[in-house]
Amino acid sequence: MTVRAAWLDEPIIIAGNWEPLIFRRRCGGGPADVAERYAREHTPALADRLKAAGVTLLITHWFKGFGLRAEAEDMAAARRLIGLCHERGIRVGGYVGDTFIFETMLLEEPEAGQWCQRKADGQPVTFGNSQTWRWKWCRNHPAFLPYMRRVLTLGVEAGLDMIHFDNFLNKPEPKNCRCPHCAARFRDFLERKYSPEQRRERLGFADLAKVAPPTFTDQLYVSWASDVIQDPLLQEWVDFRCESLARSYAELAALCRSLKPDMVIECNPTGIWGENAAYMRSVAHLRLLPHGDFFWDESPNAHGLLEEGALSTHLRSMKLGEAAGNRTFFYCWGGDAHSGALHMGEALAANNGCLGMVTFLDGDQIPAAAGCRDFIAFLHEHRALLCGTRSLARVAVYRNFTSLAYNAWEPHVQVLLAEQALLEGNIAFDLIGDLDRAARYDAIVVAGMECLDDAEVAALRALARGGKRVIVIGATGRYDAWRRSRPADPFEADPAILRLPALELPADAPGKPERRVWDDYYRVVDSRFWCRPANAEELLRHVGSPLHVTAPTAVLALPRLAADGSTLVVHFLDYQAARPCPAEVGLEFPGFEVGGPAEWLIPGQPTKRLETFDRLSLSTPYAMLVIRGTRLREAPAGAGGRTGLNDEAAG
C-alpha cells in the first residue's frame, strides 16, 4: 500500500551534503581538514542554520557503494543528522548511488565482481572520468534487488523520509551492459512483445535463441554519420533498455514503499536537454518518472537569454515533471543575481512549491542560501498561492517516444521549436506522452513526430472529429512505429486535421553541423537551437490561451490556478538582463471572469495593491500577479471547448 506523504504539499527547499567521508577521501583533491568539515556538517549548529535559512529538505549521504561495513561510520553519522533535522522539522533524503567501489565491495561481497555492467569485451562499465574504481551496477543482475533491500531497509530504520537514486540512467553506447542476464532479458522482452508472426515481420525470422544485443565497434553517430536508427534490432534494444530501467525504478519504489508506505521516491535521470535520451541514457521519462515523486534536471545547457537569441529555461523539464506527477530538483542559485532570480522564478512559476536546491553544505556553513533568502521567504509566506497549483493550459504538445528515440535531429528540432513558439508566444501549454490525456485540451500540437503507429493516427483523427484542434507539423506520421515509410500521408485526406509546414530555425541560429558534442561523440540539439521559429506565426495563429499577453521579447507570462480554485496567479519572467526601462506588459482575460482587486508581489519587496491590472510595468527578473475571486469561463456553445483560442482559430 502506498500513502502520499503529507509533506509533499509543503514548500520544498533543498540543501545537500550527499558525499560520505570515505568517498571524499577516496576522490582526493579536497581540503586537508576534510574530516573536520565533514564532522561539522553533522552538528546541531548546522541543523539550526538549515532551519533558520528556511530549508525544508536535506539530501544527505546514505549508500555510495563502498559496502555496508565500509560505510558503517558514515551511515552512523547520517543517522545522527537525520535525528537532528527531524527535531527541527526538516525532512531528510538519503543518497543511493548507481555504482559500487570494487576495492572495498569485493572484500565484503566476493561475488560482486559479477554484479556490475559488462561491455561487449567483458570489461566493467565504470562511472567515467578518472573514477574507474566505481563500477556501474547491472540492475538486471539477480543480486541487485536483494542487496538494495538491505541498503534500503537500513535507510528506513534510520528514519529517511526520501530515497534519492542518483544517476538513474545508463552510459551511451558502446558503454552498455552485455552481460548474460541482460542478453537473456532482451530475448525475453522480444518474445513477450511480439508473436512469432510479428517477429518475422519485424526481424525476418521468429527464432530468437541466437539473438544477442547489438554490439558496436565504434560510436553510432561518428562512424555511421547518421542521427537515424534504422536497424530494427537496435531500435528494439533502445526500447528494451528504456523499459528495463523503468522496471527497475518501479521495483525499487515498490520495495521502499513496502518498507515505509509514505516513502518519497526520487531519481536523477536527466531532463529535456535536446539529446536523444532514449538512445544515449536508456531514459524514457514518461515511463520512468511516474513511479516516483521528484526527479533531477542537472542540465549542462547554458541558461537564460543566449547570445544566439535562444531562450533556455528549466520550464520544459518542469512541464515534463508535471505530466508524470513529479516535480523537478535543480540547482537554483544561478551565476549572478539576475540569473539566480530567473532560476528561482521559474521554480515558483512552474514547479508547484519546489524551489530546488539552494546550497551545498560546507562544514557548518550554508553559503549559497544567502542569495536565495528573499525567494525562500517568499515561498514560505505565499505557500497557499504556490503549492498545489493547477495548469491552465488548453494546448498540449505531444512527445512521441519512437520518433524521438529513432532520430536525434529532426523530431527533436521540431518539437523544441513548437514548444519555444508557444513559450515565447505566451501560450500556456502542457506536455503529454499519452494521447489518452489529450481530450482534456482544446488543441493538440504534434510537431515532427514522424513515427506514429496506427492507433496514434486513429486517436488523433478521432480527436479532430470530436471538435479538438489537432495540428500536425512537418513530417508527422511519415513513418509507422518501426520507422517504415508509409505509402501516403495518413492525415492528408482528413479535413478535420490542420497540417502545417515544418517549423524553421531562424537565420541566425546555429546550423546542424554546429551542434554541441556530449559524451565525447554524441551530437545534441543543445539550447542554442531553442529559438522562436522563423515561421512561428504559422502555429501561433491557430492556438490560444485563456490569458492573452502582449509583452516585449524575452518576457514570459505563466498563469496558474491556486489550490483554492478561485485565485489566478500569473508569474512574470524577464530574461533581458540590461533592459533600459521597465518592460510594459498588457493583459486580457478572455478565459476568465476576473475578480479583483489584484496584488503585485516581488520577492524582497512590499506587496502592492492594484485596482487595475491590464497594464503592468515589470522592472525585476521575476514578479507575480495575484487576482482573487476569479472563475474560469465555460466555453460558449459551438466553440468546441476553445474559449481563449485566437479568433482565427476559433472561427
State which residues form the domain around 266. Answer: 6-296
Q: E strand or H helix at 329, and its extent?
A: strand 327-329
Same domain, 438 and 556: no
272 is a domain residue: yes
597 is a domain residue: yes
Per the omega criterion (within 30 degrees of 0), is the bond before 11 cis? Answer: no
Same domain, 532 and 588: no
Does the pLDDT at position 225 exceed 90? no
Sheet holding 395-398, edge to edge: 429-432, 395-398, 443-447, 469-473, 497-500
d(CA 394, CA 389): 16
Same domain, 523 and 578: no
pLDDT tier at 637, thresholds 50, 70, 90 = very low
CA distance readout (Å), 500 to 148, 447, 472, 534, 593: 50, 9, 6, 14, 33
**Into how many domains does the chain fold?**
3
Same domain, 533 and 554: no
Where does a domain end: 234, 268, 296? Answer: 296
pLDDT attached to residue 596: 82
pLDDT digits (tens, 9 = 90+) for 573-623: 999 988 999 999 999 999 999 988 899 999 999 999 999 999 999 999 999
pLDDT digits (tens, 9 = 90+) for 252-270: 999 999 999 999 999 999 9
Does the pLDDT at position 443 exceed 70? yes
Does the pLDDT at position 639 exceed 50? no
Where does a domain end: 512, 541, 570? Answer: 541
Residues 6+ away with beta carbon under 8 Å from 244: 139, 140, 182, 185, 189, 282
Q: Which residue in 430, 476, 473 sits closest to 453, CA to CA?
A: 476
Does the pLDDT at position 646 exceed 50? no
pLDDT attached to residue 640: 36
31 is a domain residue: yes
pLDDT digits (tens, 9 = 90+) for 544-579: 899 999 999 999 999 999 999 999 999 999 999 889
153 is a domain residue: yes
Does the pLDDT at position 422 exceed 60? yes
For cell 497557499, name the residue. Answer: 384
Same domain, 562 and 522: no
Q: Where are the beta strands (DSSP E) in 148-253?
A: 162-165
d(CA 166, CA 62): 11
Least reliable range by pLDDT among 226-235, 287-296, 384-393, 419-428 = 226-235
d(CA 193, CA 201): 13
Average pLDDT over residues 471-500: 96
327 is a domain residue: no
SS (H, E, C) 468-515: CEEEEECCCCCECCCCCECCCCCCCCCCCEEEECCCCCCCCCCCHHHC
Same domain, 151 and 62: yes
Same domain, 537 and 555: no
Residues 6+ away with beta carbon under 8 Å from 397: 415, 418, 419, 422, 429, 430, 431, 432, 445, 447
- All cell numbers assigned to 618: 515589470
pTM reported for the whole predicted model: 0.95
Least reliable range by pLDDT among 382-391, 465-474, 518-527, 609-618 = 518-527
d(CA 483, CA 179): 28
pLDDT attached to residue 8: 97
pLDDT digits (tens, 9 = 90+) for 69-82: 999 999 999 999 99
d(CA 344, CA 599): 20
pLDDT attached to residue 220: 60
Same domain, 525 and 609: no
Does the pLDDT at position 645 exceed 70? no
Where does a domain end: 296, 331, 364? Answer: 296
CATH assignment of the domain containing 486: 3.40.50
Share of the chain above pLDDT 70, in %: 96
pLDDT attached to residue 22: 98
For cell 526538516, name the residue. Answer: 90
Average pLDDT over residues 284-306: 97
Same domain, 114 and 213: yes
Same domain, 609 and 482: no
pLDDT digits (tens, 9 = 90+) for 364-408: 888 877 789 999 999 999 999 999 999 999 999 999 999 999 999
Q: Which residue in 192, 195, 199, 268 sits closest to 233, CA to CA?
A: 199
566 is a domain residue: yes
Identify the DSSP state of 143: T
Same domain, 467 and 526: yes
pLDDT tier at 223, thresholds 50, 70, 90 = low
pLDDT tier at 491, thresholds 50, 70, 90 = very high
pLDDT attached to residue 129: 81
Q: What angle do CA 347, 580, 578 make, to 5 degrees?
A: 45
Beta bridge partners of 274: none
What is the radius of gyration, based on Cα positions, of the chain? 25
618 is a domain residue: yes
Does the pLDDT at position 642 exceed 60? no
Name which residue leads in pLDDT, 191 or 519.
191
Q: Which residue in 275, 188, 195 sits closest to 240, CA to CA?
A: 188
Whole-number average pLDDT of the chain:
94
pLDDT attached to residue 335: 84
Per the omega criterion (within 30 degrees of 0), is the bond before 174 cis? Answer: yes
Does the pLDDT at position 454 exceed 50? yes
Same domain, 514 and 581: no
pLDDT attached to residue 334: 82
315 is a domain residue: no
